[in-house]
Chains A and B, each alone.
Chain A
Amino acid sequence: MDIAVCIKRVPETAEAAVNIDSSEKRIVEDQLVFDINEADNYALEEALLLREKEEGEITLFTVGPEKSDEVMKMGLAKGATRGVRITPENLDSIDSYTIAKLLAEQIKEGKFDIILTGCISSDAGNSQVGVTLAELLGIPHASLVIKMELEDGNAIVQRELEGGLLEELKIKLPAVFTIQTGINEPRYASILGIKRAAQKEIKVVGHITGEGMKTEIVKMYYPPAGKMAEILEGGPDEVSGKLCEVLKGKGLL
């Protein structure tokens, strides 16, 4: 059972200020902290769990800059066998379709039974790469997978739909699955794992250009100021008092 896991290094922007650079096509990355994309981390864990049941190799793939090696190394420390980093010369302007194309070119070289990736990235948020990759590889897929079991060359998966409803499918392997957060509990790398990772290979695929882009970011801008909450000002004690008054006035306390 050989598994490919596609991961991405992304900035943590949930609690950080995000600024657009002078090109108006990118954000300023200097002040941001980067980590593995959250859903990809669950995909990696799912691969590690599958391998605990059936022997095999786990190969990590990423399309990103040299700094992506940091998140690759963390994946290798957790138990992945090797990594492949694809760094196209036009990395700054490639779209999700081209990322999938670059991944497909490398992944089709190996004979993988299962290909996993996160169901969404926290930066662009397209939920596009995994499903596109399946089509380019000519194999089936299921997106938003929240439960997964293997059975005689098939995967029985549950997809998470709206309102808590789940959809159970039987998918023939090889196949691509995009993994939803919460499917498992991602582990931390052990000290021993980190030591071992130093010996593992990260193959670099460079000197290539991503071609055939379908979309292009023309401009980035800050969301227009729309409706904004009335901000209650003051220290913790003062704002608590103000909020209580507001709620009391509305008959909610």
Chain B
Amino acid sequence: MTKDIYVIVEHRQENIRDITFELLTKGYELSKDRGKLNAVLLGYQNEKLVDSLKPFADTIINIEDERLKDFNAEYYQIALSSLLQEKKPFITLTGQTAFGIDFAPSLATSLDMPYTADCINVEIDNEKVLTEKQIYGGKVNSKVLLADNWGYIVSLRPGSFAPKEGELSAEVTTVPSAITEDIDYRNFVQYVEAVKGEVDITQSDIVIGIGRGIKEDKNLPLMEEFAKSIGGVLACSRPVVDAGWLPKDRQVGSSGKTVKPKLYIAVGISGAFQHVMGMKAADIIVAINKDPNAPIFTVADYGIVADLFQVIPKLNAKITEMKGA
């Protein structure tokens, strides 16, 4: 019996999301000598999306229904639980994204199927499924064994696998949607676009990212002065926005903005993966943090392990002096 790998295609506003190609890359590796790699696409009027997926899978399972046009976890669950029960794929991959987080745990529960979330790797050892995870903010890893079952759902952390060029040419199988009745308990209303602020942090060559380590909003002026003296803009990680110290449009990370400046200086940022997703493409990354074990130092090119309140004023003075000279 072949053991197929399914990848649930993530798309939004008519675009396939990057995570899909990361999942297909890992899915291809898992499917080798085992079964077929299937991209499972739920949507409405999918022609364009189907075409762009063809090089990346053996089969595209296309499920079209007007009610699948915009993501709705309840409709996804009806369609997917029916498909998985009928076709019995070995491993189904989803992304640890706003999309995957919202449907994968309940889908797995409805099928009484083992599920692990936010994995950085998945391997098959003697038909046992094992995953690797980062826990405690990236300070410890764990190896997780899934209970024996005919099928498994694994959610992978974005950025864990570099997507490869597709060399396949998928055949398309159209599967009728298992959705019969309209549901009234969850309705998609609309997308709400992010509010644009005064400063576009994606346009600056130098970005200073500040995090929880700045401790209090009364320390903001010091950071603003630093950003100004080095000729950059001030950005931040999530806790700074949560605390209301900087507006949402300054947030760097998966739920904020992705920046690719020439220089990114992370000040008092521990380096949660959600933040790293938004700044790892910077040319040069400098991290200033007092915790030598902070994961940010594995992302940075240069690091300073020190109290930021001692370093930043000195750095400010030196930069002002150099620029003045």
Which of A's residues lie within 8 Å of B, judged by CB?
Answer: 11, 13-15, 17-18, 20, 27, 96-97, 100, 119, 122-128, 131-132, 134-136, 139-144, 156, 158-172, 175, 181-182, 185, 213-223, 226-232, 236-237, 239-241, 243-244, 246-248, 250, 252-253
**Is A131 touching B106 in the complex (CB atoms < 8 A)?**
yes
In the bound complex, how far is the Cα of B306 from the Cα of A108, in angstroms? 50
**Residue of B whose beta carbon sits closest to that of A251:** B262
**Is B303 touching A231 in the complex (CB atoms < 8 A)?**
yes
**Is B105 touching A131 in the complex (CB atoms < 8 A)?**
yes
> Which one, B97, B109, B136, B257, contacts A135 given CB within 8 A?
B109
> Which one, B109, B251, B285, B293, contacts A17 given CB within 8 A?
B293
Within 8 A of A (CB), among B94-141: 96-99, 101-106, 108-110, 113-118, 130, 133-141
**Is A230 touching B303 in the complex (CB atoms < 8 A)?**
yes
**Residue of B whose beta carbon sits closest to that of A230:** B302
Task: Pick from A119, A122, A143, A213 the residue with the most CB of B within 10 Å.
Answer: A143
**Residue of B whose beta carbon sits closest to that of A181:** B242
- Tell me, rounded to whole Å, the shortest Cβ–Cβ distance linking A83 to chain B: 25
Contacts of A122 in B (CB 8 A): 136-137
Nearest 3 interchain pairs by C-beta: A164-B194, A229-B303, A182-B242
Known contacts A18-B139, A214-B146, A229-B287; is A169 also within 8 Å of B256 by CB? no
In the bound complex, how far is the Cα of B317 from the Cα of A187, in angstroms? 38
In the bound complex, how far is the Cα of B140 from the Cα of A122, in angstroms? 12
**Is B185 touching A169 in the complex (CB atoms < 8 A)?**
no
**Is B290 touching A15 in the complex (CB atoms < 8 A)?**
yes
In the bound complex, how far is the Cα of B303 from the Cα of A188, in angstroms? 36
Which of B's residues lie within 8 Å of A, judged by CB?
Answer: 12, 17, 71, 73-74, 96-99, 101-106, 108-110, 113-118, 130, 133-147, 184-194, 206, 212, 230, 238-239, 241-242, 244, 248-249, 251, 254-258, 262-263, 270, 284-287, 290-291, 293-295, 297-307, 310-311, 314-315, 317-319, 322-323
Contacts of B300 in A (CB 8 A): 229
**Is A214 touching B114 in the complex (CB atoms < 8 A)?**
yes
- Tell me, rounded to whole Å, the shortest Cβ–Cβ distance linking A109 to chain B: 20
Chain A, interface SS category = mixed
- Tell me, rounded to whole Å, the shortest Cβ–Cβ distance linking B179 to chain A: 15
In the bound complex, how far is the Cα of B215 from the Cα of A219, in angstroms? 35
Other 10 A-B pairs with CB < 8 A, given A122-B136, A142-B186, A227-B299: A14-B137, A97-B109, A128-B115, A167-B98, A168-B188, A168-B192, A171-B185, A221-B140, A236-B307, A253-B323
**Is A131 touching B102 in the complex (CB atoms < 8 A)?**
yes
**Is B314 touching A237 in the complex (CB atoms < 8 A)?**
yes
**Is B145 touching A215 in the complex (CB atoms < 8 A)?**
yes
In the bound complex, how far is the Cα of B265 from the Cα of A240, in angstroms? 13
**Is B105 touching A239 in the complex (CB atoms < 8 A)?**
no
> Which one, A132, A156, A161, A250, contacts B255 given CB within 8 A?
A161
**Is A132 touching B105 in the complex (CB atoms < 8 A)?**
yes
- Tell me, rounded to whole Å, the shortest Cβ–Cβ distance linking A135 to chain B: 4
**Residue of A whose beta carbon sits closest to that of B278:** A163
**Residue of B whose beta carbon sits closest to that of A10:** B136
Contacts of B109 in A (CB 8 A): 97, 100, 132, 135-136
- Tell me, rounded to whole Å, the shortest Cβ–Cβ distance linking B292 to chain A: 8
Contacts of B241 in A (CB 8 A): 182
Known contacts A15-B291, A250-B284; is A244 also within 8 Å of B143 by CB? no
In the bound complex, how far is the Cα of B230 from the Cα of A141, in angstroms? 46
In the bound complex, how far is the Cα of B290 from the Cα of A162, in angstroms? 30
In the bound complex, how far is the Cα of B244 from the Cα of A96, in angstroms? 31
- Tell me, rounded to whole Å, the shortest Cβ–Cβ distance linking A178 to chain B: 8
Known contacts A213-B147, A215-B146, A244-B315; is A160 also within 8 Å of B101 by CB? no
In the bound complex, how far is the Cα of B291 from the Cα of A17, in angstroms? 8
- Tell me, rounded to whole Å, the shortest Cβ–Cβ distance linking A205 to chain B: 21
Q: List 13 A-B contacts (CB under 8 A).
A: A135-B105, A139-B185, A163-B258, A164-B249, A165-B191, A172-B186, A182-B242, A218-B142, A220-B135, A220-B142, A223-B139, A223-B141, A250-B284
In the bound complex, how far is the Cα of B12 from the Cα of A140, in angstroms? 22
Contacts of B315 in A (CB 8 A): 240, 243-244
**Is B189 touching A169 in the complex (CB atoms < 8 A)?**
yes
